[in-house]
Copies of this chain bind each other. A is one copy, B any other.
Amino acid sequence: MSELTSQDAVQDEALQQRLRDAGLRPTRQRLALAELLFSKGDRHVSAELLHEEAVAVGVPVSLATVYNTLHQFNQSGLLRAVSVDSTKTYFDTNTSDHHHFFIEEENRVVDVPASHITVSDLPEPPQGMEIARVDVIVRLREKG
C-alpha cells in the first residue's frame, strides 16, 4: 500500500504531512482538495469552483465538505479568505503578507506583485484594540 515510488506518491506524503502539521487528518477528500489548491501555484478560488474541479478530476466531494475544508484550511493558516465583493468568498493559497487587485467586471482576484504597496501613517486603533491585519484592495476597471 505504500510501495508507490512515483512523484505523485512523494507529493502525497508531503501533503499528508502538511495537513497533519495543521492538525487535520489527511482524509481522501482533504488530500484531493489540497492537491488541487496547492500544486498549481498561487490561486484564488471560490468554494463552487473548487467543487467543480474536484468533481472534474473524479473526486466527488460534496459541496458541504468543500466549504468545511476551506474553512478548516483557513483557520489553520493553509489558506486565507479574501473579502472583496460581498457575494462570494475567495480563498487565497498565498498566505504571505500581500495585497490584491480586484477586477470587478470579471469578478477576479489577483495578487499585487510582492513588495509593492506601502501603507504608512496608520491611525491609532480605538481604545483596547490592536491591528490584526491591513487589507488593501485595488479595484480595477477597464481603461476607457
Q: Contact residues of A with B, CB < 8 Å?
A: 81, 83-89, 101, 103-104, 110, 112-113, 116-123, 125-126, 128-143
Kindly report how many copies of this chain are found in the complex they form together: 2
Query: Beyond A133-B138, A134-B138, A135-B139: 15 further Cβ-contacts under 8 Å?
Result: A83-B85, A83-B86, A83-B137, A86-B87, A86-B88, A101-B126, A101-B129, A117-B119, A117-B121, A118-B121, A122-B138, A130-B141, A130-B142, A134-B137, A136-B137
The answer to whether B116 touches A129, judged by C-beta atoms less than 8 angstroms apart, is no
- In the bound complex, how far is the Cα of B134 from the Cα of A81, in angstroms? 19
Interchain Cβ contacts under 8 Å between A and B, 27 examples: A83-B137, A85-B86, A86-B87, A86-B88, A86-B89, A101-B125, A101-B126, A104-B132, A112-B123, A113-B123, A117-B120, A118-B119, A118-B120, A119-B136, A123-B138, A125-B140, A128-B142, A128-B143, A129-B140, A129-B142, A129-B143, A130-B143, A131-B138, A131-B140, A134-B137, A134-B138, A137-B137
